Amino acid sequence: MTADDYVYVRALVERHTGIVLEADKAYLIEARLGTLARRQGLPSLEALVTQLRQSPGDALQPLVLEALTTQETSFFRDGHPFAALRQTILPALLASRETTRRLVIWCGAASTGQEPYSVAMLLREHFPQLAGWQVRIIATDFSEAALNRARAGHFNPTEAGRGLDERLRARHFHAAADGWRIREELRRMVEFRRLNLIEPWTDLPELDLVLLRNVLIYLGTETKKGILRRIHRQLRPDGFLLLGAAETTMNLEAAFAVTHLEGTTCYRPGPPPAA
């Protein structure tokens, strides 16, 4: 790939996803696009970039964007946020929504579904009183390929082994060809749909709880600021936001109040605490 090709690919990725691939990520671009070129039956990486440049809007483009996106995830990833959900956040929301009996949860970078399914399992396991409530878990991602895998709810043995103990696996999955398939009852609790965080968020209702984990780290500062401002508007005033362990609203969106809970940090749309 020429230096000009790198500049072209990096600009394409940022324009369509907000993801900033630093200049030192050339090896990553080359490795991932090399694999894609082989899978597409193209003779070389150069041939792939040439095709991309010649017809930027065709079917190759989403494949390139997906190839350059990190979709790493696991069930109950990092543990602490799920402890906070169980011990503090969900009990608080259940108490404050007792009259409306409605709860809307959004996973804004859901990847292949492990995160929203973890939330669904948590609700099933620990909050039986939600039976009879209208609970929505909306799980979105820009990657159709990730969403299709999430909707299928099929996880290979390695994926099913990450973060999921045998008891939960036995209760919420059944053995399927080469892996485990999520039980229909749990699958139906999650609505998967495509949403690109840097495009308009159409049809997203008012939210009680947002999980936007391990995606902001890939985005540029102004993009992060814009996304956090929109989450602030979309969250109910007493709602909660959880980010990834390496992410924060600090220096990006001062209107969130920062609270430390059960080894994790959560953000609430209140005014910042007085200095």
Task: Kindly state the smallest distance separating residue 19's Cβ from ligand SAM, in Å.
Answer: 5
Q: One-letter amino acid identity for 80? A: H
Q: Smallest distance from the beta carbon of 47 to ligand SAM, in angstroms?
A: 25
| Cβ burial 37-75 (10 Å sphere, 16+ → b, else e) | beeeebeebeebbebbeeeeeeebeebbbbbbbeeebbb
Q: Where are the beta strands (DSSP E) in 134-223?
A: 134-141, 154-155, 173-176, 179-182, 190-194, 207-212
Shortest distance, position 117 Cβ to ligand SAM, whole Å: 11
Nearer to ligand SAM, 94 or 161 (CB): 161
Q: Total binding residues for ligand SAM by CB under 6 A?
A: 23
Residue 206 to residues 8, 9, 29, 212, 232, Cα–Cα distance (Å):
37, 36, 37, 15, 10
Query: Mask of contacts with ligand SAM, 42-81, x by CB under 6 A?
Result: ---------------------------xxxxx---x----
- CB 143 to ligand SAM: min, Å: 4
Q: Is 141 in the site for ligand SAM (CB under 6 A)?
A: yes
- 142 near ligand SAM, rule: CB under 6 A: yes
Residue 11: which H helix or E strand, with range?
A: helix 3-17
Instruction: Give the integer Cα–Cα distance in Å for 24 and 248.
Output: 24
Vertex 13 angle, CA 58 and 76, to 5°:
110
* Contact between 234 and ligand SAM per CB under 6 A: no
Q: How far apart are CA 105 and CA 119, in angstroms?
A: 9
CA distance 173 to 159: 13
Q: Given the complex with ligand SAM, which of 177 and 246 has the nearer CB atom?
A: 246
Q: Tell me which of 164, 190, 215, 231 binds ligand SAM, using CB under 6 A.
A: 215
CA 272/CA 82 separation, integer angstroms: 24
If the CB atoms of residues 111 and 253 are measured against ligand SAM, the closer one turns out to be: 111
> How far is the C-alpha of 30 from the C-alpha of 160, rounded, in Å?
30
Q: Does 256 bind ligand SAM (CB under 6 A)?
A: no
**String of contacts with ligand SAM for each residue 8-27, x by CB under 6 A:** ---------xxx--------
* Region binding ligand SAM by CB under 6 A among candidate stretches 45-53, 170-178, 193-201, 257-265: 193-201
Binding interface with ligand SAM (CB under 6 A) = 17-19, 69-73, 77, 109, 111, 115, 141-143, 146, 196-198, 213-215, 244
